[in-house]
Amino acid sequence: MKIKGNKLYQRVAASITAAIEAGRWSPGTRLPGERDLAEEYGVSRPTIREAMIALEMKGWIEARHGSGLYVTLRDHGTGQREDALNFDVGAFDLTEARILFEGEAVALAAVSITDEQLDEIDALLVEMAAEDSNEPSVMDADHRFHLAIANATGNAAIRSVIEYLWELRTRSPLAANMFARAKRGGITPRVEEHRPIVAALRARDPHAARTAMRRHLRGVVDDLLEATELEVMERARSELDARRDSVARRLKIGSV
């Protein structure tokens, strides 16, 4: 089924809530798996993942027992469904835009970057790799690393666009939620993925720079997919551990 509307994940989420309200999936019912939903709606797995997280944030669905996502018992109402699901840009769409813009920006930077700008980017790489760096400082250095490359293009409009894309990481509730899930899953900027970018800039090789940046940002997409999937699994594991503890306590009482 192909769907029409504004943001793709919002259209999928709205369609699923409409199906829930129409009785296709009643409270307590398990939703189909990601692959099945992706095939049904004619979208990618990342889009389905964003839609599922949006629905979970609003309480339409919940992860349960490691067996998938289930419709909740909550009375959601019908009047403001689309507004309730409008979380703006998701992390996958945002990163896709970064692949496009930052991939071309780094290629332009490779032919216009100065030695002083290269030294600044090198210093940021060292800052990211420092053993005593904590997570906030690494994230800040990563942010400044990418903006320094945008600045090296010599094009103020390009820098503004890339800066805006970075701002969306925190301004968009859905993107912020997804990156927070990745952070809880232990996902942090990988310094080794940044080194080929710097090497290509030093070589003044736009093609290698574009390839390295795109490879790095595709790795961000993979990390997001893994982190959001692992979070569901971790919930299930915690729930299973709690059940085991409960059973162990009961058996201990019975053996006294």
| Token pair listed for 3 | 């769907």
Which pTM does this prediction carry?
Answer: 0.66
Same domain as 223, residue 169: yes
Same domain as 96, residue 79: no
Write the single-letter amino acid at 177.
N
* pLDDT at residue number 137: 84
* pLDDT at residue number 222: 86
| Token pair listed for 183 | 């952070």
What phi and psi values does residue 185 have, to the nearest 5 degrees?
-85, 5
> Cα separations (Å) of 25 from 134, 172, 232?
44, 29, 20
Same domain as 152, residue 61: no
Angle at 173 between CA 167 and CA 179, to 5 degrees: 70
In whole angstroms, give the CA distance from residue 57 to residue 173. 10
Span 72-90, average pLDDT: 60
Same domain as 199, residue 143: yes
Residue 238 in any domain: the answer is no
pLDDT in tens, 146-177: 999 999 999 999 999 999 999 988 888 888 88
pLDDT in tens, 109-130: 999 999 999 999 999 999 888 8
Write out the residue range of the structural domain in which residue 54 sits: 8-87
Residue 50 in any domain: the answer is yes
Write the single-letter amino acid at 231.
E
